[in-house]
Amino acid sequence: MNSKKNKKNNIYKFQKNKQNKEKKIMTVPQRLKRIMLIFFIALFILIGRLGWLQIVQGAELKEAMYSQLIKNQTISPKRGTIYDSTGKALAISAQVDTVTINPTSIVVMNNKEEIDEEKTKTLKEKVAKAFSDIFELDYKETLKKVSSNEEIETIVRKVEKDKIDNLKQWMNDNEIYSGINIDEDNKRYYPYNNLASNLLGFCGTDNQGLEGLEAQWDSILTGTPGKIVNSQDALQEFIPDENQKYYEAENGNDLTLTLDANIQGIAEKYLKQACEENKCTNGGNVIIMNPNNGDVLAMATYPDYNLNDPFTPTYISEKEWKKMNEEDSIELLQRNWNNRAINSTYEPGSVFKIITAAAGLEEDIVETDKEGDFYCNGEERLTDTVIECHDGSQHGSQSLREALMNSCNPAFMQLGRKIGASTLYRYYNAFGFFDTTNCNGGGEETGVFWKLEDVGEVELATMSFGQRFRITPLQMITAVSAVANDGVLMQPRIVKEVTNTDTGAVTTIEPVAVRQVISKETSSKLLDMLTTVVEDGTGKYAQVKGYSVAGKTGTSEPDPSDESRTYVVSFAAISPSESPEVVVLVTLYGPEAQGGTHSGSTQAGPVVGQILKEVLPYLGIPSDTNASSETIETTSLPNVKNKTIAEAEKILEREGFTCKIYGDSSDIVTDQMPKEGTALVNGAIVCLYTEGNDTRVSQTVPSLKNMTYTEAKSALKKQNLNIKASGSGIVISQDIAAETSVEEGTVINVTLQKEIVE
């Protein structure tokens, strides 16, 4: 039984094993098929995906790739240079660089191609630290930029080459390149700092003109940016391919001004001195013009500012500046930037009597020397008002010439009444007071007058002698220049040439004759009378030895109805009178009273004289050798260098000089002050220096104004300073301002004039 049972089990096992083998034989191909099926499905999906990426999303992905590899580098055009008439560069552009970053590209990836937050944070801190150290930036502010989510952040603009080289070296040393961009740029520089600042204006950080000529001529100076399109790898190295393109920048055009930097410097020097001496609360301005072609040779404003640092006031302390709130500080800056010669109006005062006289002569209402044409008893009585003469004087019977010499208000009120408001307005329009001058200087204002129908008895009277209306200084000097130019009004010219820097083509802006305002005969009569004003009238302080000068003083009182207005003193001068080449207008705003009065004669007149004294010879205008003036004898200082102190002292004392010695009697003189050949008066101080003792001593120049020659000489001698004088009477000007520190032995030039009352 058991054997049968075992046999039966064996047969069952055999059959079972056979079935399993058959099953295995059948299972292997089925699995392979399944694997192959899965493989082909995956391959199909992959091919489909590749097709989708290549065909459907190809353009988009290609653009994304280029956005990472292709770099558009802007090529900033070079802003045009501004030159003066002698070729001096007043505003130039230098190549610099701007550093920007792509904050989201400054990251560290881990093995899973994910951002490693901790290492990225450390990297950003490292980059921010480098930027703050190299460019002297605030670390916290810099880190904030590096850590931002913005697409681009500017780290620093207009950086010089040495700092960019330091950044590149740091990037190489630390192998950090991604996300840091260095782009070529240009920076505006002003070689002469404050010179002509209010006229030139300045540029912002993007090289766009913000003030003055820089703003007015911005489209001409700016140019058109260029562009470089190329491929760069992560190390910012170029990948040559067909995508590289170069679009050349078009540089800005150069401007050549009519301004002469030397004449501008003279104007600014004496304007600053006058404003400080007279304590002018609102500063002042000077314009110098060639009347024959309208060329502006100088346009100075005080206070001025440093064009290379325009947002820092020059004439207040840092402590005062920091105390100001934002509104006051902005107002102060804008006031400093303002070019008062063009952008602001003022009451011209008695200088405007030139215009009233011109209208009267041209209309044959008055003659130059007819006795009794006018009468002044010290005031002019109108229906409801009494207007006094400027100094309360009673000039009595006068001709037009005498009225101008005396600057008599009643006489000009009487003349204005004879001419009439309608006719006066016709001449005001002809002289250009109702329009801008079209000088292209930027932000030009025009005159503010009553409407003709509103001009009554009082308005007619006051405007006849230059008050209760407002014009710009440029309008005033342009009108005076017409008188000097045979009656022809010229358009003021500040820019005379535009040069295309890419082609070299030069466009000349020709002088423009606007109109004939008065006849040549009337012009000649006015020049003759105005010369008398300077020779024998209120304009004496503007006299210049060797040159004829025609001119008129001006003092305008503040309008009682406007508390913001102050006294304005001015002087307009034309020289040489017989053949005018130069017109000067000096205007001082809010000067402190001298001897209880404000006076264009004594406060603005000497400034004109100082300016003309230097400008006329500089322009090569020959002097009149027959001009008479009191001369103070001088002796030429001999050269005593390389002699012993004892020998030098003996020579100098024999010539009438006083010695101040730095060294022993046996020491050799290595230098002397003043220099050999200097013309010195008797008793002048000469400082002798030796090799072992050459310590220079500084002295403060005293104020010499209103002193006699003897008083001025004595005051300077106390400071071991010397004097050189021209003219006679009292000191009206000195070439080195009071409170200036100078070396012992320095010669101070002073101008003397006989004291007069305006």
Q: Where are the beta strands (DSSP E) in 196-274?
A: 223-224, 226-232, 238-239, 245-247, 250-251, 254-257
pLDDT band of residue 160 (cuts 50, 70, 90) is confident
Residue 366 scores a pLDDT above 90? yes
- pLDDT one-digit tens code per residue, 195-205: 999 999 999 87
Higher pLDDT, 146 or 298: 298
Higher pLDDT, 461 or 229: 461
pLDDT given for residue 229 in this prediction: 58
pLDDT given for residue 628 in this prediction: 40
pLDDT band of residue 626 (cuts 50, 70, 90) is very low
pLDDT band of residue 559 (cuts 50, 70, 90) is confident
pLDDT given for residue 758 in this prediction: 40
Higher pLDDT, 207 or 642: 642
- pLDDT one-digit tens code per residue, 369-404: 999 999 999 999 999 899 999 878 899 999 999 999
pLDDT band of residue 727 (cuts 50, 70, 90) is confident
- pLDDT one-digit tens code per residue, 612-625: 999 999 998 887 65
Q: Is 635-753 a domain of CATH 3.30.10.20?
A: yes
pLDDT given for residue 624 in this prediction: 67
What 3-state DSSP class applies to 252?
A: coil
pLDDT given for residue 27 in this prediction: 55
- pLDDT, mean of residues 251-260: 95
Residue 66 scores a pLDDT above 60? no
> What's the pTM?
0.75
Mean pLDDT of the chain: 87
Cα–Cα distance for residue pair 301/307, rounded to 1 Å? 13
Cα–Cα distance for residue pair 496/214, rounded to 1 Å? 15
The per-residue DSSP string of 67-97 comes to: HHHEEEEEEPPPPPPEE-TTS-EEEEEEEEE
Residue 37 scores a pLDDT above 80? no
Extract the tokens encoding 680.
């010195």
Q: How many beta carbons lie within 10 A of that of residue 723, not counting itself?
A: 23
Residue 550, phi then psi, degrees to nearest 5: -110, 140
- pLDDT, mean of residues 138-158: 88
pLDDT band of residue 236 (cuts 50, 70, 90) is very low
CATH fold for the domain made of 72-257 = Penicillin-binding protein 2a (Domain 2) (3.90.1310)
Cα–Cα distance for residue pair 342/437, rounded to 1 Å? 9
Higher pLDDT, 67 or 605: 605
Partners of 687 in beta bridges: 660, 673
- pLDDT, mean of residues 549-558: 94
pLDDT given for residue 60 in this prediction: 62
Cα 133 to its chain centre, rounded Å, is: 33
Cα–Cα distance for residue pair 80/94, rounded to 1 Å? 11
- pLDDT, mean of residues 694-705: 89
- pLDDT one-digit tens code per residue, 567-592: 999 999 999 998 899 999 999 999 99
pLDDT band of residue 73 (cuts 50, 70, 90) is low
- pLDDT, mean of residues 168-186: 85
For residue 680, CA distances in Å to 634, 723, 746 come to: 5, 8, 11
Domain limits, the chain: 2-56, 72-257, 345-618, 635-753
pLDDT band of residue 716 (cuts 50, 70, 90) is very high
pLDDT given for residue 50 in this prediction: 72
Q: Which helix (H) or strand (E) holds 654?
A: helix 645-654
Residue 230 scores a pLDDT above 90? no
The answer to whether 406 and 537 are in contact (CB under 8 A) is yes
Cα–Cα distance for residue pair 523/487, rounded to 1 Å? 6
Q: Where are the beta strands (DSSP E) in 57-179?
A: 70-75, 82-83, 89-101, 153-159
The answer to whether 277 and 705 are in contact (CB under 8 A) is yes
Write the CATH number of the domain with boundaries 345-618.
Answer: 3.40.710.10
pLDDT given for residue 158 in this prediction: 77
High-pLDDT (> 90) share of the chain, %:
56
Cα–Cα distance for residue pair 643/666, rounded to 1 Å? 9
